[in-house]
Amino acid sequence: MRLLITGAAGMLGRDVADAARRGGHDVVALARADLDVTDAAAVRAAVAAARPDAVVNCAAWTDVDGAESAEDRATAVNGEGAGHVAAAAAAVGAFTVAVSSDYVFDGAAREPYTESAATAPLGAYGRSKLAGEHAVAAAAPDLHAIVRTSWLFGAHGPNFVATMLRLAHERDELTVVDDQVGCPTFTGHLAPALLSIARYRRPGILHVAGSGCCSWWDLARATFERAGHDVRIHPGRTEDLGRPAPRPAWSALGTERADTPVLPAWQDGLDAYLECVGVLA
């Protein structure tokens, strides 16, 4: 498969590119410096030149709090930009895999959200990702998959687990919120799942995240236990953080589709990540 990856210098994009190369695929990996997805003409030219069989769009605005004061810029990337990629791919008959987010939900549920659940984003970031879903579906009606995932962590970018490991060397006591629940997802596990979706052209919306769910407090505790750090963790409340962007209290993802790739448990993803960064032998 000839594969074009946008956002290829990011945490997820790098893992997708690495997994594709290991799988023997012909890879064209474009970082933001190579291709700005907000430039429709540049996207059309890049995709036309690459002539891929599939495109995995990992280009994204990921600053959740920053999106609150820059929603137009976030939506230009996550919304219109995603549509540009899908339209350019469809023009050459390529299948698009667009990565979306659990933040398209409001967090009011108490069971995992499935693909048909009603969306109702709480903040600008979630709205920008939902705009991207709509743009992709409109631009490539029969040639797209929208993959919602959550709580990403990986070896090639800043993430919650990396932050916890750093803080473990600076403090012996921390407060971590326990009133947000989601599915931590190791990008090293997500990447091959995205490639499978691209290869077999599984259409529509799919929820692909680490199996099981937990709170940020649970993830911090598991990180310290596995890494051998003696850190006392106090449970905290999201409202006490004073962050600009609202967060869904519950954003666990489930699936109602038999063809959805199933990822390993989030705990296995954590172990794999810790091995990648040299914390576990």
Q: Is residue 205 part of a domain?
A: yes
Q: Residue type at 130?
A: L
d(CA 218, CA 238): 15
pTM over 0.85: yes
d(CA 159, CA 54): 28
C-alpha triplet 144, 145, 147: angle, nearest 5°: 150
Q: Is residue 237 part of a domain?
A: no
Range of the domain at 69: 2-214+244-276
How does pLDDT run across 199-225, given as a tens digit for each residue?
999 999 999 999 999 999 999 999 999
Q: Is residue 223 part of a domain?
A: no
Name the phi and psi angles at 107, rounded to 5: 80, 10
How does pLDDT run across 83-133, given as a tens digit for each residue?
999 999 999 999 999 999 999 999 999 999 999 999 999 999 999 999 999
Helix or strand or coil: residue 189? helix
Q: Is residue 231 part of a domain?
A: no
- We report the CATH number of the domain holding residue 250 as 3.40.50.720
d(CA 217, CA 233): 8
* DSSP code for 273: H
Domain count, the chain: 1
Q: Is residue 203 part of a domain?
A: yes
pLDDT for residue 226 is more than 90: yes
b/e for 212-237, b at 16 or more Cβ within 10 A?
bbbbbbbbbbbbbebbeeebebeebe
Q: Catalytic residue among 113, 125, 200, 273, which?
A: 125
Q: Is residue 18 part of a domain?
A: yes
Whether residue 181 contacts residue 212, with contact meaning beta carbons closer than 8 Å, is answered with: no
Q: Is residue 235 part of a domain?
A: no
Q: Catalytic: 273?
A: no
pLDDT for residue 82 is more than 80: yes
**Residue 181, token pair as written in the block:** 């629940």
Q: Is residue 161 part of a domain?
A: yes
